[in-house]
């Protein structure tokens, strides 16, 4: 029950006192509001943290496709690490302009390091991976391993 909606006794109103359970609730409300104030003040100071890329992952009959937006990142600033069942995309978006923080009305673009590790739904051939970037859209084509593929080997006599 909200402490502001509780009806206080005449004595509590006269002396300004409150019940112990109300005092506890009020302390918790103060703690929460202090945490929220600190979080709002420091939202731009999280420079050391890496952002997580948003991705689309889908499949075709032969490939797993990973797509993500990397607008403003040079291809040489992207690093792809690929294993048979996992892929990691890392990069850094550099801000080249110098604008005083007080002159911003809105600041929503992310600048700095980012990464994303994706557990693939199926094993792939890392050596045959293709990665292309067009208009800021990075597309990574990961060929699936064909586990049904069979090869007949002729035995030679030596």
CATH number at residue 137: 2.60.40.790
Global pTM reads 0.61
Q: What is the Cβ-side half-sphere exposure of residue 50, based on CA atoms within 13 angstroms?
A: 12
- Whether 60 and 24 share a structural domain: no
- Whether 66 and 139 share a structural domain: yes
- Whether 129 and 55 share a structural domain: yes
- Whether 63 and 85 share a structural domain: yes
85-117 confidence digits (pLDDT tens): 999 999 988 877 788 888 888 888 888 889 999
| Segments forming the whole domain that contains residue 127 | 51-143
19-50 confidence digits (pLDDT tens): 655 555 555 555 555 555 544 444 444 455 77
Asked if 41 and 33 count as a contact pair (C-beta separation under 8 A), the reply is no
Within 10 angstroms of residue 132's Cβ, the number of other Cβ atoms is 10
Can you tell me the distance from the alpha carbon of 69 to that of 55, in angstroms, rounded to the nearest whole number? 8
Cα separations in angstroms, 66 against 34, 86, 138, 140: 41, 11, 8, 5
Domain count, the chain: 2
């Amino acid at each position: 029950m909200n402490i502001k909606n509780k009806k206080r006794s005449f004595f509590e109103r006269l002396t300004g006192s409150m019940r112990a359970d109300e005092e506890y609730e009020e302390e918790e409300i103060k703690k929460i509001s202090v945490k929220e104030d600190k979080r709002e003040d420091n939202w731009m100071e999280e420079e050391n943290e890496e952002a997580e890329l948003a991705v689309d992952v889908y499949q075709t009959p032969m490939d797993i496709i990973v797509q993500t937006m990397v607008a403003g990142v040079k291809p040489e600033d992207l690093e792809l690490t690929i294993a048979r069942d996992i892929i990691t995309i890392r990069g850094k978006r550099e801000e080249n302009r110098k604008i005083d923080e007080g002159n911003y009305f809105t600041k929503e673009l992310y600048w700095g390091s980012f990464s994303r590790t994706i557990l693939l739904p199926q094993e792939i051939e890392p050596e045959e991976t293709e990665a292309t970037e067009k208009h800021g859209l990075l597309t990574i084509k990961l060929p699936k391993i064909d586990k049904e593929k069979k090869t007949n080997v002729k035995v030679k006599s030596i």
